[in-house]
C-alpha cells in the first residue's frame, strides 16, 4: 500500500518538476514550485525525516513561495512575460535536454550502485546522544556535534539579509495602496484569529526541538510566517531604517551561540564544549535566540526593508 | 534489490533542474530551477542517510536542514538582485531587456 503511495508521490513530483521548468508562464511556474515544496515535505516524511518535512513545508514551500510571489508582483508586465517567450534556441534546448537526461541517468546509477557503508559520523552521533543535552538527534547534531556549521549558517543568513537590503537600498519604500488597504473584512479578522495561534505554534516547535521533531529553524520559520501574516494584514509595516532593537535581535543568535562557546572555554577547555550539568538550559537558550534571529531575518527578507513598525489598525 | 523510487525522483529532480536552468533564461525561472536541482541533491542525501541500520542517519539530516536554510537565504538574495535589476532597467528608458 505504502509502496503504491510512494510511486504516486514520486510520479507527481517528477511531473510537477517537469511542468515547473517547461511551462511558459512564470506565475504558474512559481505556483507549481510551491506545490512541489509541499509534496517534498510529504516525501521527507515518508523517508523517515520528520524534521526535514517540517523545515521544507515551513521554509522551502511557505517562505520561499511568499518571497517568489512578492518578487513576481514587483516586476512589471513586460518583465514578467518578455523573457518567458524567447526561451533558449531549439538546438540548445535539445542539447540541454540530452545532457540533463544523461546526467540524471548517471546520478540514478550512482545512487543505486553505491553500497551502504554505514558508520562514521552518524553512528557516533547516535551513540553519544546522552552527552548532547537533547533527546532529539537532529537537534543534537545541529546545536552540539556540528555546531560550527550552524554558527556559520547563521552568518550566511545574516549576510544574505545584508546583501538583499543593500541591493534594495535604492528602492525608496512607499507602501502602495494595495499593500495597506484590505478590500475584504475577512483578512483582518483571519489575521487576528490566526496570528496568535501561529506564533504559539512557532514557539512550541522551537521548544519541541529538544525532544521531538522541530527546532530552531522550523520554529523560526513559523514565527516568520506569523510575521508575514501580520504584514499582509496591515498590522506590521516595513520602515526604511533599522531600530537598535531590530539589529540586536538580528545578531542575537550568532552572538549568543558564539558567546556560549567562548565563555565556557575556561571551564571545558575547548570552543563550543558545554558542561554536562547545564547542557539542557544552554541548548534551550541557544535554540530560542537562533529562532528569534532566523524569524526576524526571514521576515525582513520578505518585506525587503530595514525595520518594522506596528500598523495603526 | 530493486531501484528505489525515491532514487528515481532524486535523479529526475536534478536532471529537470539542470535542464530548466539551461533552457529558461528568465532569472526567476533560473532561481526555481536551481532550487529544484537542490531538492534533488537533498533527496539523495536523505536516501544515503537511510543506510544506517538502526534508524536514519541524523548527520545528513542536519546537513540538509542547514542546506535548506542557506538555499532559501541565497534565493532571497537572488530575488533582491532581480528586483534591483528590474528597477535599474526601468530607470533607463532607452534600454531594452536582453
A–B: how many Cβ contacts below 8 A? 282
With CB atoms and an 8 Å threshold, state whether A26 touches B28.
yes
Residue A302 included in any domain: yes
Is the torsion defined by CA of A301, A218, A270, A123 positive or negative? negative
Give the pLDDT of residue A220.
Answer: 92
Whether residue B95 contacts residue B85, with contact meaning beta carbons closer than 8 Å, is answered with no
Is the per-residue pLDDT at B65 higher than 70?
Answer: yes
Residue A60 included in any domain: no
Residues in chain A: 313
Residue A58 included in any domain: no
DSSP class of A269: S
Give the pLDDT of residue A24.
Answer: 82
Rounded mean pLDDT of A194-223? Answer: 89
Give the pLDDT of residue A170.
Answer: 54
Residue A72 included in any domain: no
What pLDDT band is residue B97 in, cutting at 50, 70 and 90? very low
With CB atoms and an 8 Å threshold, state whether A100 touches B22.
yes
Is the per-residue pLDDT at A118 higher than 70?
Answer: no
B54 → chain A, closest CA residue: A123
Nearest CA distance, A185 vs chain B (angstrom): 31
Domain boundaries, chain B: 5-91
Chain A residues with beta carbon closer than 8 angstroms to that of B96: none
Name the pTM for this structure: 0.87
For residue range A237-294, list pLDDT tens digits in order. 777 777 888 889 999 989 998 888 888 888 877 777 777 777 888 888 888 999 999 9
Give the pLDDT of residue A292.
Answer: 93
Residue A124 included in any domain: no
- The CATH label, of 3.40.190.10, 1.10.287.3510, 1.10.240.10, 1.10.10.10, for the domain at B5-91 is 1.10.287.3510
In whole angstroms, what is the distance from residue A197 CA to residue A226 CA?
Answer: 9
Alpha helices in chain A, H assignment, sequence order: 2-22, 26-46, 50-55, 64-74, 77-85, 90-113, 121-127, 137-140, 147-167, 177-180, 186-208, 216-232, 244-263, 265-268, 279-303
C-alpha cell at A160: 544574505
Provide the 3-class DSSP secondary structure of residue A236: strand
Using CB atoms, pick whichever of A6, A153, A168 lies closest to residue B5. A6
Q: Report the candidate in B96, B90, B26, B93 with the shortest Cα–Cα distance to residue A170.
A: B90
Rounded mean pLDDT of B36-64? Answer: 85
Give the pLDDT of residue B15.
Answer: 95
Residue A238 included in any domain: yes
ipTM for the assembly? 0.90
Is the per-residue pLDDT at B24 higher than 50?
Answer: yes
Give the pLDDT of residue A173.
Answer: 47
C-alpha cell at B23: 533552457
Whether residue A67 contacts residue B75, with contact meaning beta carbons closer than 8 Å, is answered with yes
Give the pLDDT of residue A308.
Answer: 81
Q: Which residues sit opposite B84 in a β-bridge?
A: none
Q: Report the candidate in A255, A231, A205, A262 with the shortest Cα–Cα distance to residue A67.
A: A231
Domain assignment of residue A230, given as a range? 133-313
With CB atoms and an 8 Å threshold, state whether B14 touches A126.
no
* Mean pLDDT of the residues in chain B: 85
Give the pLDDT of residue A131.
Answer: 72
Give the pLDDT of residue B59.
Answer: 83
B53 → chain A, closest CA residue: A118
Structural domains counted in chain A: 1
Amino acid at each position: 500500500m505504502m509502496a503504491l503511495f510512494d510511486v504516486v508521490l514520486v510520479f507527481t513530483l517528477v511531473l510537477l518538476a517537469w511542468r515547473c521548468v517547461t511551462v511558459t508562464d512564470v506565475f504558474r511556474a512559481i505556483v507549481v514550485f510551491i506545490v512541489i515544496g509541499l509534496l517534498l515535505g510529504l516525501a521527507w516524511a515518508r523517508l523517515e525525516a520528520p524534521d526535514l518535512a517540517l523545515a521544507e513545508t515551513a521554509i522551502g514551500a511557505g517562505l520561499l513561495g511568499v518571497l517568489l510571489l512578492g518578487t513576481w508582483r514587483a516586476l512589471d508586465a513586460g518583465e514578467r512575460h518578455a523573457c518567458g517567450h524567447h526561451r533558449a534556441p531549439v538546438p540548445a534546448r535539445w542539447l540541454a535536454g540530452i545532457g540533463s537526461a544523461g546526467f540524471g541517468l548517471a546520478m540514478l546509477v550512482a545512487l543505486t550502485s553505491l553500497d551502504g557503508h554505514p558508520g562514521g559520523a552518524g553512528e557516533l552521533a547516535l551513540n553519544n546522544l546522552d552527552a548532547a543535552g537533547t533527546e532529539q538527534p537532529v537537534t543534537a547534531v545541529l546545536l552540539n556535534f556540528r555546531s560550527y556549521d550552524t554558527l556559520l549558517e547563521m552568518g550566511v543568513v545574516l549576510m544574505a539579509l545584508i546583501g538583499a537590503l543593500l541591493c534594495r537600498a535604492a528602492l525608496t519604500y512607499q507602501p502602495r495602496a494595495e499593500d495597506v488597504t484590505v478590500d475584504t473584512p475577512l483578512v483582518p479578522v483571519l489575521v487576528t484569529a490566526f496570528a496568535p495561534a501561529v506564533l504559539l505554534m512557532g514557539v512550541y516547535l522551537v521548544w519541541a526541538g529538544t525532544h521531538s521533531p522541530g527546532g530552531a529553524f522550523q520554529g523560526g520559520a513559523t514565527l516568520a510566517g506569523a510575521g508575514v501574516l501580520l504584514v499582509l494584514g496591515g498590522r506590521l509595516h516595513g520602515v526604511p531604517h533599522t531600530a537598535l532593537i531590530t539589529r540586536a535581535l538580528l545578531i542575537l543568535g550568532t552572538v549568543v551561540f558564539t558567546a556560549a562557546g567562548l565563555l565556557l572555554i575556561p571551564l571545558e577547555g575547548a570552543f563550543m564544549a558545554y558542561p554536562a550539568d547545564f547542557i539542557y538550559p544552554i541548548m534551550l537558550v541557544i535554540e530560542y535566540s537562533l529562532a528569534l534571529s532566523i524569524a526576524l531575518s526571514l521576515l525582513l527578507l520578505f518585506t525587503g526593508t530595514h525595520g518594522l513598525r506596528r500598523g495603526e489598525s | 534489490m530493486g531501484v528505489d523510487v525515491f532514487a528515481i525522483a532524486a535523479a529526475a529532480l536534478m536532471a529537470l533542474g539542470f535542464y530548466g536552468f539551461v533552457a529558461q533564461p528568465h532569472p526567476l525561472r533560473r532561481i526555481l530551477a536551481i532550487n529544484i536541482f537542490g531538492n534533488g541533491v537533498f533527496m539523495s542525501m536523505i536516501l544515503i542517510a537511510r543506510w544506517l541500520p538502526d534508524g536514519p542517519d541524523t548527520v545528513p539530516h542536519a546537513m540538509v536542514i542547514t542546506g535548506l536554510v542557506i538555499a532559501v537565504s541565497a534565493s532571497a538574495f537572488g530575488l533582491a538582485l532581480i528586483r534591483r535589476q528590474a528597477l535599474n532597467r526601468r530607470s533607463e528608458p532607452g534600454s531594452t531587456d536582453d
